[in-house]
Amino acid sequence: MNRSTITIDVTLDNDRVPESIEWKASDTGAENKQKARAMMLSFWDGAEKTALRIDLWTKEMMVDEMVDFFYQTMMTMADTYGRATSDQQQVETLKKFAREFHHEFQHKQVQGNKK
């Protein structure tokens, strides 16, 4: 049996706000830790039927980056859901929402820049 290890290091400021996030996975082949400005990690507790989550972002994470992060995460979640369930209708529903979410933010940005 193979085993993979993922290590996540978070450096916090005095107020416990993340200053940096670095991660390394044993299966990537990358020698150095990878930097990230945000992360979302979810676990499913089958006994409790609940999701356990860790959502962190650094001070440097910009709002437009967060929107892109959510958009890309929702799109890949839709793909994962599709592989797990073969329910293409729900996949398209989630992807449509993700596209609308992203488009609405872009529209607000354009409107804000016109002021």
> pLDDT, tens digit, for every residue of 81-109?
999 999 999 999 999 999 999 999 999 88
| Residue 108 pLDDT | 87
Q: How many CB atoms lie within 10 A of CB 21?
A: 20
**What residues contact residue 95 under an 8 Å CB cut-off, 6+ apart?**
74, 75, 78
| Residue 27 pLDDT | 84
Is residue 115 very low, low, confident or very high in pLDDT (cuts 50, 70, 90)?
A: low
Tell me the domain boundaries of the chain. Answer: 1-60, 62-115
Place of tokens 């978070």: 10
> pLDDT, tens digit, for every residue of 16-66?
999 999 999 988 877 899 999 999 999 999 999 999 999 999 999 999 999
Instruction: Pull the structure tokens for residue 28.
Output: 């990537």
